[in-house]
Chains A and B, each alone.
Chain A
């Protein structure tokens, strides 16, 4: 089974801190994604990556950056955390959509910014 591991389940950070959310997948997937989930807003794509050192903005990239130095690892960076970034963050990876694989998600990181 594909496994997507997010380094922390719960995080509490202070406003203005630089925050790193780490995600690792173990099935050699090409594609990796970062989403945030908020009540009433569903899943919103922040950034995604189709290859090492490659990144593309999703629908809500403002206030975030990403890093993909190795194929298996995709990091989300909050440059200066703000209270409106309090959310559930979900990492996902995929081999190829359309082949019955879809995305495999990690368990999520619940981030609270105080």
Chain B
């Protein structure tokens, strides 16, 4: 059973517009969420995270929103740039119970067109 779901395999937006990437989770024990960005032939790099005690975290052009009641989070990129074209992975973990494992979604490939 997939605990972290990214239902859109791909997304295409125009440069300068907003990109919204979505992620849903099923495990109510998850309390920490991260987004990773991956370019081809490179390892994923950490982008932004959010704890369940918050509903929003912002870092420059990137904002993550968390809706705990809906078990949904989203990553907003404003304005989108061609260099943002990459695969974005949503990940979740439970910081209780001592587990250090992150559970990843399948990724969304973002293409930002000039």
Binding site for B on A (CB under 8 A): 4, 9, 30-31, 33, 35, 37, 40-43, 45, 48, 50, 90, 92, 94, 96-98, 100, 102-108, 110
Given contacts A40-B9, A43-B89, A97-B32, are A105 and B101 in contact (CB under 8 A)?
A: no
Interface residues of B in 50-107 (CB under 8 A from A): 51, 89, 91, 93, 95, 100-102, 104-107
Chain A residues with CB below 8 A from B32, complex form: 97-98
Interface size class of B (residues with CB under 8 A): 20 to 34
Q: What 0/1 pattern do residues 1 to 45 of B give for CB contact below 8 A with A?
A: 000001001000000000000000000000110101010011111
Pick the contact of A90: B34, B44, B106 (CB < 8 A). Answer: B44
A48, B101: Cβ atoms closer than 8 Å: yes
Given contacts A97-B93, A102-B34, are A42 and B104 in contact (CB under 8 A)?
A: yes
* Distance in Å: Cβ of B3 to nearest Cβ of chain A: 11
Residue pairs across A and B with Cβ atoms less than 8 A apart, 8 shown, are: A30-B100, A43-B104, A90-B44, A102-B34, A102-B91, A103-B36, A103-B46, A105-B36
Which A residue sits closest to B98, measured CB to CB? A50
